[in-house]
Amino acid sequence: MGIWTDGRCVLLHCSTGLVRHEGELAEVLVSGQVLGRQDDPDPGRRHALSVDPGSQTAFLVDAQDRAFSMPLRGGELAELSGEIIAMASMDDRHMLAAWRGKTGSRTVVKVGLAPVPRRGNRGRKTGIALGKPKRLKWPDGLLWSGNPPWSRRSDWSGDADRLLLTDGPFGAAVADSDSGVLAVLGKGDRKYRCVLRAPAQKDARIHVCSTAEGVLVGIRLDGGESAVGHFDTAGNCLASCAFEGLEAMRVLDADRALVFSRTENELREIRLSDLDASSAVSIGRHGDGEVSIFATSDGEIAALGLGKTAILCRRGEDDTWIADSLEPPEEPEEEDELEVEHERLAGPPNLSLASPSNGWDFARGKPFAIELPLINMGGPAQGLFVEMSGQAMDQGLIVPMTVESDTKRAPFLEGRAELPGVDLAAGVAWPDSKKAKERLAEAPGDTRVTLWVRGKSDHGGEGLLMIRVGFLGEGMRGSLLRGKAIQVMDS
């Protein structure tokens, strides 16, 4: 879902970015350019958004299926690890999430419980077994004149736009528009309350919400023809109706739900007992884009997201709904690059070369300078050491004199030099799918340092030269060892 409200604050995740409305304030917390949304060719793509139960932090997914957290009251955008592509709030400790993982050599999408992402919290995600989905007892003639289409797939779609996760007063639910698989997870549960299968076809979009008795299911075909059904946990149909232009649903309580018709541009409150409308409010035309609904826990205030527009709906005295369109913020200026606060690693530090080292050419009687571009891929570190060894040292082919960084310099004593003032921040907790080359290229500057080993070449000859760079106080743990067979030539 792309919208959230607590009755005072409204968050909208759209092509503009992450937008916050509160009172007269309308501001862009994170721009669409940063999230890769402004050039999205499909404005109807889902814009995943979830907010922790304490209303302190928003969690969202960008156009490249990267997950981020953003504090609502001051703070910086932080990329989350673990390749989360969709989420729905459960409680203050867990969320229902979808993420990419490995099964053997295959990359698959898993759905299950994940810890609410917080700085330093890298708790384990736990996939929930699906079991065999049970077909809904779909009413005859509803949407399809003949037999409805059924998929045989039982795995989750790899397309994040076809996988919908929703939350509500009775727990979370997930719907896969490719396979028709539906699953409901009650609050506090660790396994699905029910796993069902709805009819599915290529051009159909499936909506789902958990209810007190089971699940509310909506299906919209490509032409706008739609249907809504209320089913119990065994798949029995409790109520059903035809619909036009279904775009979003939200369960309010045990008796009521909100549904939005794009065809009528109308938000309707329906009774779950028979799916008849008890009230409706006309929204008007607000352009293309994803439609999403969120409501406060008492069901008295709802927020409707229509593309870039946020609409706040309040229940009036006569139990009808009153809709007010919120003034959008000014479009932010273009930003040159993504600036995020990355989640950092804990534990021991670990050095790696950021790029190939240079300067391993030696001529007798000439100075040399070996460049070592280093990066920390582990926990934080304070101070470095450099040790030189090997045949080239034993035979006196080279004599190391100093090691230098941009700010520090230290002499070699018996083949070892120490730089106690060179500190490295903790490395980034990258998603598992991030390639090694990308991790090195995108690592923050505070995890990097370049050292130069300077000296002279005294004698001609050949031999192995070994250089070890490590962390003071860590012994050999996390150190980097590189060696080359060198030849000192006559100049």
Q: Could you tell me if residue 331 is inside a domain?
A: no
Of 290, 310, 325, which residue constitutes the final position of a domain? 325
Domain assignment of residue 333, yes or no? no
Instruction: Decide if 75 contacts 63 (C-beta within 8 A).
Output: no
Looking at 278, 310, 325, which one is the last position of a domain?
325
pLDDT in tens for each of the 491 residues of the chain? 589 999 999 999 988 889 999 988 899 988 888 877 665 545 445 678 888 877 788 888 887 777 888 888 777 787 776 667 888 888 878 888 888 776 666 667 889 888 876 654 556 788 899 889 999 999 999 999 999 999 998 888 877 778 899 999 999 999 999 999 999 999 889 999 999 999 999 889 999 999 999 999 999 998 899 999 999 999 999 999 999 999 999 999 999 999 999 888 899 999 999 999 999 998 876 666 788 999 998 999 999 998 888 999 999 888 889 999 898 887 656 554 445 567 788 889 999 888 777 778 888 888 888 999 999 999 999 999 999 999 989 888 889 999 999 889 999 999 999 999 899 999 888 876 677 777 777 888 889 999 999 999 878 888 899 999 999 999 999 999 988 888 888 76
Instruction: Indicate whether 313 and 358 sit together in one domain.
Output: no
pLDDT of residue 41: 47
User: Could you tell me if 312 and 427 lie in one domain?
Assistant: no
Do 32 and 71 have their domain in common? yes
Q: Closest Cα partner for 68 from 55, 54, 87, 53?
A: 87
Any domain includes 168 = yes
Question: 222 with 79, same domain?
Answer: yes
pTM to 2 decimal places: 0.71
Residues 82 and 146 in one domain: yes
- Same structural domain, 366 and 265: no
Task: Using alpha carbons only, give the angle 160, 162, 167 rounded to the nearest 5 degrees.
Answer: 80
Count up the domains in the chain and report the number: 2
Whole-angstrom CA distances from 32 to 43, 46, 61, 71, 336 are 12, 14, 12, 17, 12
Report the C-alpha gap between 168 and 215 in whole angstroms. Answer: 11
Full DSSP string of 213-268 = SEEEEEEE-TTSEEEEEEEETT--EEEEEEEESEEEEEE-SSSEEEEEETTTTEEE
What is the Cα–Cα distance from 328 to 187, expressed in whole angstroms?
A: 35
Q: What range does the domain containing 399 cover? A: 351-489
Q: Cα–Cα distances in Å, from 87 out to 83, 97, 174, 216, 362?
A: 11, 4, 10, 19, 57
Answer yes or no: is 332 within a domain.
Answer: no
Helix (H) or strand (E) holding 206: strand 205-210
Last residue of a domain, one of 290, 307, 325: 325
335 belongs to a structural domain: no
225-232 and 237-244 strand pairing: antiparallel
491 three-state secondary structure: coil
Do the domain assignments include residue 142?
yes
Same domain, 75 and 194: yes
* 310 and 355 belong to one structural domain: no
Q: Are 285 and 265 in contact (CB under 8 A)?
A: yes
301 and 423 housed in the same domain: no
Asked if residue 270 and residue 396 are part of one domain, the reply reads: no
Decide the pairing of beta strands 134-135 and 381-389: unpaired
Note whether 17 and 95 are same-domain residues: yes
CATH code where residue 307 lies: 2.130.10.10
Residue 345: inside a domain, yes or no?
no
Report the CATH number that the domain containing residue 427 is assigned in CATH. 2.60.40.10
Cα distance between residue 73 and residue 87, in whole Å: 21
Q: What angle do CA 169, 171, 173 make, to 5 degrees?
A: 120
Are residues 179 and 265 both part of a single domain? yes
Does 336 map to a domain?
no
